[in-house]
A and B are shown apart, each in its own frame.
Chain A
C-alpha cells in the first residue's frame, strides 16, 4: 500500500514537473505540403519543397509567425503524392485528419489538385494550389484557392499570341487525354483557335495516354494534316520526346507549349531541339527585377539552379498564407475555427504583391493575373517575350 502510494505521488510529481513548460509552449501552426516528389514530374515536387523550405527559413529567422501580437512556430509537413490522383487524396486525408494541418499548399498538377481539392473542401480545410490551372480545382469549392491564372484564360492567350506572331491558320494539338490539365487546356485552346479562325481550323486534334513514349503515329497524322504548328500542353518529361520525334519525322514548323513547359528540367531533357520555341507561363526568370530577382538569386545560390515557375508560385502561395494568417488576427487553437478564419482571410486578400504578379481573389478563389510568353533562347534560357493581361 505504501509502495503504491509513493509511486502515484512520484508520477504526479513528474507530470507536474513537465506540465508548466507544456502549458506555456505554443502549439505550432502546421502547414501541409502535398507535392509530386516521386513519379512523373519530380522536378515539380523538388521546386515546391525547396521554395517552401526557403520560406520556413525566413519564418524561423524571425522567431515564428507574428499573429495578433504572439509569435507562433511553424511546422511543415511535406508529403509525396507520387504524381497520382489516389495518392494525392490519401495524403490530403492524412494531413488533414492526422497531422491537423491548418492549410494545405498543393498539389501542383491539376490531375492531383482536382481530387485533393474535393477532400479539402469536404473537411472544411483551406487549400491553395500554386500551379494548378484547371478550373475544376476551385469551382464551387469555397475552401480551395489557387495562386496562378486559369486555363480558360491561358487557351486564348496562346491562340492570340500565335495569331499575332505567325498569322497561321491551321493548328494541330497533341495532348494527354488521361490527365485533367492537358485535356482541359487542349479543349480551351481549340475553342479559342476556332473562335479566331473559324470551325475546322484545328486540322488535327491528336491524343495519347499518360506514360506513352512513342508519338510517331499521332505526329505522322499531324504532318499529313497540313497543320502549320503544333500546340502541346504537356509536362516536361513528355515535351522532350514529342519535340524530338516531331523533328525526326520531318516536321519543321513551330511547336508551342503552355505553362507546364516551364520546368528547370525541360531544356536539360530536350536539348537543342527546343531552342527558339515559345510557351505561355507565369513568370520569366531572365530579366526579372526587384523582389522577383531577390528570390531568384537566393534560390539559385542555395540550390544551384534558376527556380522555375512552380517554385516562384509556391513562394507566393506560402506568403499569401502568411499574409492571410496575419490578417486573421488570432489563433484560437480550435482547429476548425482557425481553418474557417484563415479561409475567410484568404478570400479577402486584395492587391497582394507576389513575385509572380499582383493578386486579388475572385469569388471562386482564383486570382486575376497576367500571363507571360517565354521564348527558349539559343542558350537554353527562358527569356521574357511578351506579357498578356486580361
Chain B
C-alpha cells in the first residue's frame, strides 16, 4: 500500500513536467496548427536561463550587494526566466514560423527541428560540453508520512504546476484574449475579420507556451540538478505524444495526458521489470490512440492535410 502511494507521489511529480511542456505544445498545435518541435529545446533554454539568473542573484547576495533570501531568489528566477524565455519563444515564432505561415506544414515542422538543433548546438558552443549544476535554492526536507517519503521539492513542483495550469485555464476561459485564442483554434481565418490580428495571437501563444516551459525547466533543475544541452529532446518528444493524446483544441486535455504519461511510465516500471518500461508504456499509448485517434478531448476536424 505504501509502495503504491509512494509511486503515486512519484508519478504526480514526474507527470507535472510532461504536463507543463505539453501545454505549450498543445497550445501552438491547437491554435496555429503546427508542431513546434523546438519546444523541448525552449524547455532547455528556460532551464539554462534560470540557472544563469539564479547564479547571478546568488553571486550578488554573496558579494553583499543585495541580500536576498533563497526563496525570494527562486521566485525572482522563475519570473525573470518566464519573461526571458517567452522572449526567446516569440523570437522563434518571428524568425522561424511567421515567414512560413502559408507554406506546407512539413516545411514548418522541419523549421522547428532545425531551430531546435540550433538552440542545442548554440548552447554547446556558448557554454561548452560540461554539465552545469543547478544551484540548490531549496533546502531539501524529506517528510516521512507513514512510510511514504515526500520531499518539499516534489510538493512544490506539483503545487506550482497545478497552480499554473489553473491560471492558464482561467485565462483561456474568462478573458477576452483567451476567447480570441479559442476562436482561432476554431477558425483561424475568421479571427482577423473580427479585428484581432493573427500575429498578435501567434506571439501570445508562443509567449505563454514558452513561459510555461521555462517554469518546467526551473522546476526540473531544482529536482534534477544536472543540466545538459540535450536535455530537452526527450521531453520534447514525450510532450508531443502527450499533446496528441490530449487532442487538438483541448488545452486541459494535453495537461491531463501529460500526467497520464507520467503515471503510465512510473506504474509500468513498478509492475513490470524496468527493462521493459518504455516498450510497454508506449504500446499502451499506441493502443489508446488506436481507439481514440483524435485524443481524449480532441474535436474531429476536417482539413486539408495538415501535419
- Asked whether B190 is an interface residue with its Cβ less than 8 Å from the other chain, the reply is no
Interface string of B227-268 (1 = CB under 8 A from A): 010110010000000000000000000000000000001110
Residue of B nearest to A247 (CB): B142
Residue of A nearest to B2 (CB): A224
**In A196-212, which residues have CB < 8 Å from any B CB?**
206-209, 211
In the assembled complex, which residues on chain B have CB atoms less than 8 Å from the CB atom of A333? none
Verify B131–A207 contact, CB threshold 8 A.
no
In the assembly, what is the distance between CA of A207 and CA of B278, in Å? 11
Verify B130–A218 contact, CB threshold 8 A.
no
Interface string of A6-48 (1 = CB under 8 A from B): 0000000000000000000000000000000111101101100
- Asked whether B302 is an interface residue with its Cβ less than 8 Å from the other chain, the reply is no
In the assembled complex, which residues on chain B have CB atoms less than 8 Å from the CB atom of A364? none
- Asked whether A4 is an interface residue with its Cβ less than 8 Å from the other chain, the reply is no
Interface-central residue, B7, B129, B230, B277, by most chain A CB under 10 Å: B129
- Asked whether A268 is an interface residue with its Cβ less than 8 Å from the other chain, the reply is yes
Verify A240–B274 contact, CB threshold 8 A.
no
* A221-B274, A248-B140 as given contacts; A240 in contact with B226, CB under 8 Å: yes
Verify A45–B14 contact, CB threshold 8 A.
no
Verify A250–B224 contact, CB threshold 8 A.
no
Interface-central residue, B140, B226, B234, B278, by most chain A CB under 10 Å: B226
The total of interchain contacts (Cβ-Cβ below 8 angstroms) comes to 79
Q: How far is the CB of A34 from chain B (nearest CB, A)?
A: 16
- Asked whether A75 is an interface residue with its Cβ less than 8 Å from the other chain, the reply is no
Interface size class, chain B: 35 or more
- Asked whether A232 is an interface residue with its Cβ less than 8 Å from the other chain, the reply is no
Q: How far is the CB of B196 from chain A (nearest CB, A)?
A: 41
Verify A216–B133 contact, CB threshold 8 A.
no
Interface size class, chain A: 20 to 34
In the assembled complex, which residues on chain A have CB atoms less than 8 Å from the CB atom of B151? 248
In the assembly, what is the distance between CA of A365 and CA of B13, in Å? 48
In the assembly, what is the distance between CA of A319 and CA of B23, in Å? 56
- Asked whether B62 is an interface residue with its Cβ less than 8 Å from the other chain, the reply is no
In the assembled complex, which residues on chain B have CB atoms less than 8 Å from the CB atom of A214? 10, 14, 224
- Asked whether A249 is an interface residue with its Cβ less than 8 Å from the other chain, the reply is yes
Say what secondary structure dominates the interface of chain B. helix
Interface string of B40-75 (1 = CB under 8 A from A): 000000000000000000000000000000000000
In the assembly, what is the distance between CA of A321 and CA of B267, in Å? 51
Verify B129–A177 contact, CB threshold 8 A.
no
- Asked whether A213 is an interface residue with its Cβ less than 8 Å from the other chain, the reply is yes
* A221-B269, A248-B142 as given contacts; A265 in contact with B131, CB under 8 Å: yes
Verify A216–B10 contact, CB threshold 8 A.
yes
Partner of A237, one of B142, B228, B267: B228
Verify A217–B224 contact, CB threshold 8 A.
no
Partner of B6, one of A46, A213, A220, A247: A220
Interface string of A170-211 (1 = CB under 8 A from B): 000000010000000000000000000000000000111101
Verify A42–B7 contact, CB threshold 8 A.
no
Verify A211–B234 contact, CB threshold 8 A.
yes
* A209-B278, A240-B226, A241-B226 as given contacts; A220 in contact with B270, CB under 8 Å: yes
Verify A38–B274 contact, CB threshold 8 A.
no
Partner of B131, one of A206, A221, A269: A269
Partner of B130, one of A43, A177, A221: A43
**In B1-31, which residues have CB < 8 Å from any A CB?**
3, 6-7, 10, 13-14
Give me the 3 closest cross-chain CB pairs, A-B, nearest first.
Answer: A42-B129, A217-B269, A216-B10
Q: Which residues of A line the B interface, CB within 8 A?
A: 37-40, 42-43, 45-46, 177, 206-209, 211, 213-214, 216-218, 220-221, 224, 237, 240-241, 244, 247-250, 265, 268-269
